[in-house]
Amino acid sequence: MEAKTAESSKTILTDLVLPSETNPLNNLFGGELLARMDRAASISARRHSRRIVVTASVNHVAFNRSIPLGSVVTIEAKVSRAFKSSMEVYIDVWIEDRESGECIKANEAIYTFVAVDETGRPVSVPEITPETKLEKQRFEGALRRKQLSLVLAGKMNPNDATELKALFS
Ligand SMILES: CC(C)(COP(=O)(O)OP(=O)(O)OC[C@H]1O[C@@H](n2cnc3c(N)ncnc32)[C@H](O)[C@@H]1OP(=O)(O)O)[C@@H](O)C(=O)NCCC(=O)NCCS
């Protein structure tokens, strides 16, 4: 399978924050943002693999900045690294300033998707070729994050998480 660029999986989802999607402080409800990120990231993983994809894990979410009612929210998702059947997708969330149009980074998250066949069995996906400095940074850290996720899920023995252990040696 031929490797693909991270850029070719880029997916952008722009939408408003409506009253039914907010918490009592009139900020976007966390679960609503998780769902929007899942949607954008799954499209990104599908664009990379051209297969059915399922969310395997949500590895990291940082709700750094609240997103007020009426905001224009842009979610950008890109596959940062592909392994055998799994893909790490990096998600950046931006809010657009109403007057200046400037985009301010609000949140980021990392999800893992797995490409599957019609029976739900994992299938192989193409590799990723990172191009930009940021894509290369994210690619480099992805194996460590995959090992951490597998250890936390009880699917990997910590002793086998060599990349993760190297952080502490
Ligand atoms: C995700 C799923 C296909 C993995 O199946 P599995 O039997 O664990 O398959 P495998 O052990 O072969 O793992 C497949 C890949 O997923 C990766 N993976 C599985 N669990 C993971 C986790 N928690 N974190 C990171 N990667 C994970 C494995 O490392 C493997 O990656 P690789 O092929 O790139 O090396 C299966 O658990 C599933 O279908 N889950 C439900 C998905 C779903 O419905 N999501 C929506 C939630 S409502």
In the chain, where do the E strands start and end?
4-5, 11-16, 52-63, 72-82, 86-96, 103-116, 128-129
What's the pLDDT at 169? 73
- The pLDDT value recorded for residue 97 is 87
Atom of ligand 1 nearest to the CA of 121: 3
| Atom from ligand 1 closest to the CA of residue 56 | 1
Chain centroid offset of residue 18 CA: 23
- Best mutation site among 114, 116, 160 for ligand 1 pocket (most ligand atoms within 8 Å of CB): 114
pLDDT at 143: 96
Q: Whose CA is nearest to atom 37 of ligand 1?
A: 56
- Nearest atom (ligand 1) to Cα of 146: 25
Domains of the chain are 4-130 (3.10.129.10)
- In the DSSP assignment, the letter for residue 25 is T
Protein residue whose Cα sits closest to atom 1 of ligand 1: 56
**Would you state the pLDDT for residue 98?**
85
User: From the alpha carbon of 55, which atom of ligand 1 is closest?
Assistant: 45
* Ligand 1 centre distance from Cα of residue 85 (Å): 8
pLDDT at 78: 98
Tens-of-pLDDT digits for all 169 residues of the chain?
899 999 999 999 999 999 999 999 999 999 999 999 999 999 999 999 999 999 999 999 988 899 999 999 999 999 999 999 999 999 999 999 888 989 999 999 999 999 999 999 999 999 999 999 999 999 999 999 999 999 999 999 999 999 888 888 7
Closest CA to 52 of 118, 128, 104: 118
Q: What pTM value is reported for the model?
A: 0.95
User: In this structure, are strands 86-96 and 4-5 parallel, antiparallel, or unpaired?
Assistant: unpaired
Rounded to the nearest angstrom, the distance between the alpha carbon of 150 and the centre of ligand 1 is: 9
Residue 107, both tokens:
């949140």
